[in-house]
Chain A
Amino acid sequence: MTASDLLNRLFMAVLTLLGVAVIVFCLLRIVPGDPIAMMISPSATPADIAALRAHYGLDLGLPQQFGIWFMDVLKGNFGTSISQRRDVMELIGERLPATLELAFAALVFGVLAGGVIATLGTLARRTALDPALDFINGLFLAVPDFVWALALVLLLGVFWPVFPLSGRIDPTLSTYFHTDFYLIESLVTLKFAAFGDLIAHMIMPMLALGLPLAAIVVRTLKEALAEAMVQDYVLLARLKGMSPLRLVLQEALRNAVGPTLTLTGVQFTFMIGGTVIVERIFSYPGLGNMAIDAVINRDLPLIQGIVLTFGAIFILVNILVDLIAGWLNPRGAAHG
C-alpha cells in the first residue's frame, strides 16, 4: 500500500465513521424505547416528565439534537451517559482496554492454536490423524462463541473449577493500576501475582472467543498450505532433502499465510463483536458488557459512543490487515 493509498483509506475511514454516526443517531431515535419512559416513576407528573426530557436535551427537535451532538463529537465530546452520569469518552476509555486485551489474547490464541493444528494437519496428510483433525475442527467451527462460553462455565468453572468464573481480577486483590491496560501494566511493572490472576480470569472468555477463530484459521491455513505444498519451489526443496516440518514452516507457510491473515483480520472484527455476549456471560468489565447495559437502559449518548468506537476499531483493523498483507506479500499488494 502506497502513502497515497493509505491517505485515501484514512479519508474513506473518516467518511465511513461520519456515515455510521448519522445512521446510529437516526436509528436510535427510530427504534422503540424512550429513555425517559424508562426512568419515570409511577408518580411522575407530566411536568416531571417534561423536566426530565429537558434535562437530557431530548425535548429539542431531532435535527437540533443531532446538530448539538455532532458538533460536540467533532470536539471530542460524546456527551454524558444517561445511566452512569459520567463522560462517555471517559467511560469508553476505561472499558476499551479490557476488551482490547481480551480480544488480542483471543486473537493470539486463535492464530497460534489454529496455526499449530493446521501445520500438524498438513504434516499428517494421508494419515488417520488428518480426517480426525478435520472432524474435530468441523465441530469447533459449528459451535458459536457464546455456546463455548456457557460450556466452559460448566466445565472449567463448576465441574472442574480451575479458573475464576467472573470478572477481570480477583475482587479481594488490592492492586492499584495507573492505566486500564491491567495485563500489560502488571507485566511491565513485574506484578506477577496480579498478572497471573488477570490471566486466570481471562482464560475462559479468551477460549470462548478464540476457539471458533482457531477453527477458521485451521481450515483456511490448511487449504492454503495444501496448495503451496504442491508448488514447484516446495517440490524442489523437498528434492533437496528438506524435512517435512521445515518444508511447511520455511517454504510453504510464508506464501500460504496471506489469505489466512486477511480472513483473520475480518474474523477479528467479528470477534470484537462477539465480546459483547462473552463479556456478559463472564461479567468481564469490557466495552461489550457495558454496551448491553447501555442498550437495555436506552442510554443514547453511551450507545452512540460505543458504536462509533467499535466502528473505528473495525476500520483500523481492516487498514492494518491490508498493510500487513502488503508487507508479507508485496507483489500481491502491488497488483491490488
Chain B
Amino acid sequence: MTDMTRRGVLGLGAATVLTGILAGRIPVQAAETNTLTIAFNSNLPSFDGTVGLSGVNPAIQAIYRSIYDQYIGQKPDLSFEPGLLTAWGWNDDKTKVWMDVREGVKWHDGSELTPEDVVWSLTRAGKPETGNPVASVWASIGNFKVDGKRINADVINFDPTIFKWMAFLTGYVLPKAYYEKVGAEGFEKKPIGTGPYMFDAYEGNSFLRLKANPNYWGAKPAFDTVIFKFVTDPTSRVAEIESGSSDVTLEIPYEEFDRLKAKKGYAGVSSPISDIGMIFITNVEPMLDKNVRLAAHHAIDKAGIVKKLLRGYGVPIDTLEAPEYAAFDASIKVPYDPDKAVALLKASGYSKDKPVKFKIQTTRGLKPKDYEMIQAIVGMWRKVGIEAEIEVYEIAKHFELRAGHKLAPAAFYNWGNAIGDPTTSTGFAMFSKSPHSGWKTDDVDALIGPLWGEKDEAKRIAGWKAADKYIAEQGYVIPLLQYVQPIVFKSSLKVTPNISSALQPTLVSKA
C-alpha cells in the first residue's frame, strides 16, 4: 500500500474534480457510444401512464411506449399492428370481443407475461377508482375469460373505437404480480414493463435513463442506453443540440429548426402530426348568428398564416379531420374569401364601421406562434367588420372553462388525435354531452349521436364525414391547421417521424 501525504490526497482530489468537470464537456456521439440522448420537451410526472394527468398527456407517450407495450401497436403512419395482442376482433353481432395474447414475452424482471396480466390491466383501467381518466372506455368490455392464450370478453357498451384505444392513451399493459407486490408508490420508484427499453435511473425534472431490453420480443433496440433529458425550455433544447450535449431534440422554434438543419453535422425532419390548431365557437351571442360564424371562418387566410408565421410548417385544414385521419374528406372546403365574409356580415347588419364584437381567448407560448396567430386572425377579422378582443389564458383555465361550457364566443386551442378516429376529433369536440365540446346544439347531436354505437364501419365513417360537412356549412367550429413537428438531430443518426408525435427511441437509428 502506498502512503499518501495530506497534500497528495488533496492534489489527487483536485485533479479528479477537474477531470470530472471537464469530462462532462466531451460530446458523446450516439453513433459511436451506443447511447442516445434526447433533449425532451416534457417532464415525466409519473411512470404509470394509465392514470391521472400522465394518462392524457400526449407528449410523454414516447417514454411510456419505450418502457411498456400497448395492447395493440401503432406504426408511425398511425396504422395499427400487433402489440402484446397478436390478433383481436369482435364476433359477428359485436356483442363479444376476443384477443390473442402474444406468447414468449417477458417482463423486465424476467417473469412471463400472461393473459391474466392483460385482463388485470383492462379491468383496472375500467375502474374509475383507480384514476383512469377514460375508465368508461375500458369499462365498455368486461366479464373476461381466459382460454389458453385467448381472452374472450363481453361487450358491455358497444364502442367501435375500443381496439383503437388499445394503441392510444392509457392503453398500456402493466405487470399484475409486480404491481400488486410493490404497490403504486413502489411501481413509481421502479417500474417494469415489457417494452424495448428498461428503467435504469430517474432524476425528476432532469433525466430518465433506460437500458435496452435484451429479451425484447420485437426488433432489437438500436441503442444500449437511451437518456431522456427533460428540457422544457425551447431555448435550452436548442442549446442542448447545438452544444453536442444531446443527439436529438424536438419542438423547437421553426426559425431555429431551419438554421440547425442547415448546419454541418445536423439534420432535420419535419412531418405533419396528429395535432391541430382550432378555434372553438361557443353557442352564445353573437355566435348564434350563422352569418357571423361563417364570416369569421371565411375571413381567415390559413395558408397565409402557415406561410408567414410558421415558415410553411403547417397544413391548413377546414374540418377537425387531418388528412391522415379515417374520416378526412378533402371535398369539404371553407375557402379564404374576405369578400364573402363582408357580404355575410352585411346581411346581419355589420360592417367595418359597425363591427360585430366578441372576445377570443388564446394560449400564449403553448403552441408555436399561438398568440401571434390569433393576433393575425384578429387583424384579418378587423378588415371585414369583426372586432375581437384577445384574452390570454392559461391552459388550466381553458380546461376549466371548457368543461364548464364557459369559454368565450371564440377560443383557440389545439386538439390531438393520435388514433385518427373521428370520435376522438369531431366527436368529442362537437358532441354536446362531451365535457370538451364548445358548440352544444341538438342538430349536431342528432347527426353524431347515432354514430357512437354504429357497428357498420363504412356507414360509421360516412356518417362522420356527413357530420363534418354539416358542421363546416354551419360554421360551428373554425379548424385552422395541422401542426408540423420539427425534429433536429445529429447527422450520424436517422429519425423516422411519427404522425402521432411520439418521438420514440425505437424510431431513431444510426444513419
Select the stretch in A110-118, A130-138, A238-246, A281-289 that faces chain B: A281-289
Q: Are A196 and B184 in contact (CB under 8 A)?
A: no
Q: Are B397 and A32 in contact (CB under 8 A)?
A: yes
Question: Is B18's CB within 8 Å of the partner chain A?
Answer: yes
Task: Convert B388-432 into 0s and 1s, putting 1 for each residue whose CB lies closer than 8 angstroms to a CB of A.
Answer: 000001111101111110000000000000000001100111000
Nearest A residue to B55 by beta-carbon distance?
Answer: A39
Residue numbers in A under 8 Å from B429 (CB-CB): 42
Q: A172-B35, A283-B205 are in contact. Are A298 and B396 (CB under 8 A)?
A: yes
Residue numbers in A under 8 Å from B20 (CB-CB): 192-197, 199-200
Chain A residues bordering chain B, tally (CB within 8 A):
73
Question: Is A210's CB within 8 Å of the partner chain B?
Answer: no
Residue numbers in A under 8 Å from B12 (CB-CB): 192
> When chains A and B are docked, how far (Å) is the Cα of A165 from the Cα of B246?
10
Q: A40-B435, A196-B18 are in contact. Are A84 and B46 (CB under 8 A)?
A: yes
Q: Are A166 and B435 in contact (CB under 8 A)?
A: no
Within 8 A of B (CB), among A253-299: 279-286, 289-290, 293, 296-299
Q: Are A168 and B203 in contact (CB under 8 A)?
A: yes
Residue numbers in B under 8 Å from A280 (CB-CB): 232-233
Nearest B residue to A90 by beta-carbon distance?
Answer: B185
Q: Are B204 and A95 in contact (CB under 8 A)?
A: yes
Select the stretch in A17-25, A64-72, A150-158, A306-314 that faces chain B: A150-158
Residue numbers in A under 8 Å from B35 (CB-CB): 172
Q: A43-B136, A52-B128 are in contact. Are A200 and B13 (CB under 8 A)?
A: no
Q: Are A166 and B24 in contact (CB under 8 A)?
A: no
Q: A33-B399, A158-B242 are in contact. Are A85 and B21 (CB under 8 A)?
A: no
Q: Are A163 and B397 in contact (CB under 8 A)?
A: no
Q: A172-B28, A196-B17 are in contact. Are A32 and B400 (CB under 8 A)?
A: yes
Q: Are B206 and A193 in contact (CB under 8 A)?
A: no
> When chains A and B are docked, how far (Å) is the Cα of A167 from the Cα of B245?
11
Residue numbers in A under 8 Å from B133 (CB-CB): 39-41, 44, 48, 52
Instruction: Specify which of A165, A199, A298 is in contact with B21 (CB 8 Å cutoff).
Output: A199
Q: A42-B434, A85-B52 are in contact. Are A293 and B45 (CB under 8 A)?
A: yes
Q: Are A154 and B239 in contact (CB under 8 A)?
A: yes
Residue numbers in B under 8 Å from A174 (CB-CB): 201
> When chains A and B are docked, how far (Å) is the Cα of A200 from the Cα of B240?
15
Nearest A residue to B130 by beta-carbon distance?
Answer: A55
Q: Are B424 and A40 in contact (CB under 8 A)?
A: no
> When chains A and B are docked, how far (Å) is the Cα of A297 from the Cα of B43?
11
> When chains A and B are docked, how far (Å) is the Cα of A44 from the Cα of B132?
10
Nearest B residue to A48 by beta-carbon distance?
Answer: B136
Residue numbers in A under 8 Å from B370 (CB-CB): none
Q: Are A167 and B134 in contact (CB under 8 A)?
A: no
Question: Is A82's CB within 8 Å of the partner chain B?
Answer: yes
Q: Are B205 and A293 in contact (CB under 8 A)?
A: yes
Residue numbers in B under 8 Å from A85 (CB-CB): 46, 48, 51-52, 131, 184-185, 188
Residue numbers in A under 8 Å from B13 (CB-CB): 190, 192
